[in-house]
């Protein structure tokens, strides 16, 4: 199968982030033609149109280049106050500008929300989905992934501890690979 480059955006800045660990678990479970690289959002300064006009910061340019060079995007994020963490929203805003040059446009994507709690980040997942629809990204519709109780699902080596979750998350990566092929087949 043709190799596809997937940019992984992790919504948490925390070293021991469950979302980051879940991203590593997903990478291990995914079809081998998907080549993942985590694109870091930590160093992106807050989006400011004045900074854009003055000549965008190097961190924005590098981030935009990295996403632009990918075929698809995987978002793995925690929920903060029933929405996405500010750092992730900022990364989305940075990638969406200058107007008419969004790096997100038409890129197939998938969302996995992650929480130690029971609801699995449903609010973050859907707030993120709202932005991605506006940004014209074909978002994986099914399966939806609201990963609750994430601490118990992750082993020390970031593999998944239960057979059920392994099967579900592996199926998700396969569905994502299928979406990528469907979307890229139709691209000019
Ligand atoms: C949280 N947390 C949280 N959890 C949740 O399920 N729904 C929520 O709305 C929130 N809100 C929230 C706000 C803020 C500011 C923080 C710092 C945390 C808890 C959160 O899920 C938990 O800290 C995760 O471990 C964060 O994800 P990472 O860093 O482990 O990926």
CA atoms of 33 and 81, how far apart (whole Å): 36
Q: What is the pLDDT of residue 186?
A: 82
At 52, is the pLDDT very low, low, confident or very high (cuts 50, 70, 90)? very high
Residue with the smallest CA separation from ligand 1 atom 12 is: 80
Residue 101 reports pLDDT greater than 90:
yes
User: Ligand 1 atom closest to Cα of 22?
Assistant: 31
Tell me if 80 CB under 6 Å of ligand 1: yes
The DSSP H or E segment spanning 30 is none
SS (HEC) of 164-186: HHHHHHHHHHHHHHHHHHHHHHH
Peptide bond before residue 26 is cis, with ω within 30 degrees of 0:
no
Residue with the smallest CA separation from ligand 1 atom 29 is: 17
Tell me if 119 CB under 6 Å of ligand 1: yes
Contacts of 24 (CB under 8 A, 6+ apart): 158
* pLDDT per position as a tens digit, 130-158: 999 999 999 999 999 999 999 999 999 99
User: Ligand 1 atom closest to Cα of 10?
Assistant: 31
Q: What is the pLDDT of residue 164?
A: 97
Residue with the smallest CA separation from ligand 1 atom 13 is: 80
pTM exceeds 0.95, yes or no: yes
């Amino acid at each position: 199968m043709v190799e596809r480059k997937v940019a992984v955006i992790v919504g948490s800045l925390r070293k021991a982030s469950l979302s980051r660990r879940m991203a590593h678990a997903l990478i291990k479970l995914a079809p081998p033609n998907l080549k993942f690289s985590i694109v870091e959002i930590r160093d992106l300064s807050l989006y400011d149109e004045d900074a854009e006009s003055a000549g965008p910061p190097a961190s924005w340019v590098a981030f935009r280049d990295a996403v632009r060079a990918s075929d698809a995007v995987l978002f793995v994020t925690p929920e903060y106050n029933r929405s996405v963490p500010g750092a992730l929203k900022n990364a989305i805003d940075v990638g969406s500008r200058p107007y008419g040059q969004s790096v997100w446009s038409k890129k197939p994507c998938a969302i996995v929300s992650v929480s130690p709690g029971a609801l699995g980040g449903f609010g973050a997942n859907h707030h993120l989905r709202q932005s991605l629809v506006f940004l014209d990204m074909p978002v994986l519709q099914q399966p939806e992934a609201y990963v609750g109780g994430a601490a118990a699902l992750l082993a020390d080596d970031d593999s998944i501890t239960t057979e059920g979750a392994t099967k579900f998350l592996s199926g998700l990566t396969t569905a994502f690979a299928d979406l990528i092929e469907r979307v890229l087949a139709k691209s000019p």
